[in-house]
Amino acid sequence: MRRAEADRKPAISPLHDPRWRSVAYQAVLCVIILALFYGAIDNAAQNLQKARIAYGFDFWNHPAGFEISQTLIDYSTASTYGRAFWVGLLNTLLVASLGIVFATIIGFVVGIARLSRNVLVARLAGSYVEIVRNLPLLLQLLFWYNAVLKALPEVADSLVFPGGTLLNNRGLFLPQPIAGESLSLVPLTFVVGLLGAIAFRHWAKRRQESTGRQAPVASVALVLIVGLPLVVFLLSGMPVDFAYPEMGRFNIRGGIEVLPEFMALLFGLSIYTAAFIAEAVRAGIQAVSHGQTEAAYSLGLRPGQTLRRVVIPQAMRVIVPPLTNQYLNLTKNSSLAVAIGYPDLVQIFAGTVLNQTGQAVEVIAITMAVYLAISLVTSLLMNLYNARITLVER
């Protein structure tokens, strides 16, 4: 009887129902925000039209007419502004993704070194972090760029490395591998080896769970993934030719060219961001209480196992959120490329294309949307990873 009374909904009008009211408020807010956006866009379009400034996105298919020093896809002066946009975007993604890899590696090494019992190593790592973290990134980029340009020899006196690699102040020139006919076997065996390694790991894990016996997963995987393709490569008679860089009238021709602007930017971004990552790593490791290590030792785990199985999984929970921030920062900071002439999205699209077309509003809007999208995708991936490593709470 009492239950039935409690279950019956009180008869109140939707006007006073808090749920309806909050939905209504939010709907009104959304409409207002959308109206504001629409108003701003419409107003801008009208004003641009009134001021006789070109507007809209027609420029996307017009020929660009300028050269770009680094293009990952086919591009010439006859290509369109749209094509130039993709060139710039790919250049940004290239430097950002490589920067993230290097910054993570350096950051983890330095972060762990800061906790080293060796005083010299710990102090060195500490001063690296303090110096790099406290200088403006733009200054560091200019420093690295000028250091690269000044320290390296002129193009005529290139440093020659064994294997045909050349280094000078125009960049690093590597021999370019040209695939022979039977080379396709190598990636095939690589895939086979990879699948084999995954299967072996699965089998080893099941066997350890049931019998307690361990298998040398790492070395078997290494043989399958690296050794197998290598053997196939050698057996098929090394079907690779190299196009070696050679000195032309002014410049090095042929080979793979790595621009000094790219090297300086990658170097600067990695080193700068690594300092912040190192701090996150140090904090993460220190956040795991020492009792955990002691408990692992008393269970008979070796130091390496303790680190891998006990400390790092718990430290990662603390490390990953700030790590995500640093990845986002690195990607956004790559736009400082504009200062040292690396053709990234901002330099090409928000720079030259904006200037040639004069369509500042459209170009900047697209550029902002792109950075927003890159950042959101990065955080999405990192959040998925974070969810996977979160401590399972019971």
Partner 1 sequence: MKRVIFTLSLLTLAIGAATSPAFAQTLNTVKQRGVLNCGANGILAGFGLPDAQGNWTGFDVDYCRAIAAAIFNDPSKVKFVPLSAKDRFTALQSGEVDVLARNTTWTSSRDTSLGLQFTAINYYDGQGFLVRKSLKVNSALELNDAAVCVQQGTTNELNTADFFRSNRMKLKTVTFATANETLKAYDAGRCDAFTTDASALYAERLRTTNPNDHVVLPEIISKEPFAVVVRHGDDQWFDIVKWVHFVLINAEELAITKANVDQQLKSDNPEIRRLLGVEGNQGEAFGLTNDFAVRIIKHVGNYGEIFERNLGMETPLKITRGLNALWTKGGLQYAPPVR
The binding site for partner 1 (CB under 8 A) comprises 40, 43-44, 46-48, 50-54, 65-69, 77, 146, 149-150, 154-155, 169-170, 248-251, 253, 260-261, 338-341, 343, 347, 351-352, 354-361, 364
Amino acid at 297: Y
Which CB atom, from 46 or from 289, has the smaller least distance to partner 1? 46
Q: How far apart are CA 321 and CA 301, in angstroms?
A: 29
Closest to partner 1 by CB, 164 vs 341, is 341
Closest CA to 375 of 327, 317, 322, 323: 327
On the CB side of 139, how many CA atoms lie within 13 Å of its CA? 6
Nearer to partner 1, 138 or 382 (CB): 138
Minimum distance of partner 1 from residue 41's CB (angstroms): 9
Query: From the CB of 67, what's the least distance to partner 1, in Å?
Result: 4
- Smallest separation, CB 268 to partner 1 (Å): 15
Helix (H, G, I), strand (E, B) or coil at 252: strand
Query: What are 19's two structure tokens?
Result: 């749920």
- Minimum CB separation from partner 1 for residue 45, in Å? 9
Give the span between the Cα atoms of 260 and 168, in whole angstroms.
9
Q: How far is the CB of 52 from partner 1 (least distance, A)?
A: 4
Rounded Cα distance between 344 and 341, Å, is 9
Total residue count of the chain as it appears in this document: 394
Least separation in angstroms between CB 338 and partner 1:
5
Nearest to 84 by CA among 370, 346, 331, 359: 346
Based on CB atoms, which residue is closest to partner 1, 44 or 318?
Answer: 44
Q: How far is the CB of 362 from partner 1 (least distance, A)?
A: 10
Strands of 109-243, DSSP E:
159-161, 165-168, 171-174, 176-179, 240-243
Of 68 and 129, the one with the shorter C-beta distance to partner 1 is 68
Q: Of the two residues 216 and 248, which places its CB atom closer to partner 1 in the complex?
A: 248
**CA geometry: angle at 117 spanning 127 and 300, to 5°?**
140
The least distance separating partner 1 from the CB of residue 246, rounded to whole angstroms, comes to 12
As measured in angstroms, the least distance from the Cβ of 342 to partner 1 is 10
Rounded (10°) CA dihedral 156, 162, 167, 173: 100
**Residue among 168 and 189 whose Cβ is closer to partner 1:** 168
Rounded Cα gap, residues 366 and 162, in angstroms? 45
Long-range contacts of 358-365 (CB under 8 A, 24+ apart): 358/53, 358/54, 359/53, 359/54, 359/55, 359/59, 361/44, 361/48, 361/55, 362/55, 362/56, 362/57, 362/59
Q: Which is nearer to partner 1, 86 or 233 (CB)?
A: 86
The dihedral built from the CA positions of residue 317, 319, 322 and 325, taken in this order, carries a sign that is negative
Nearer residue to partner 1 within complex by CB, 151 or 391: 151
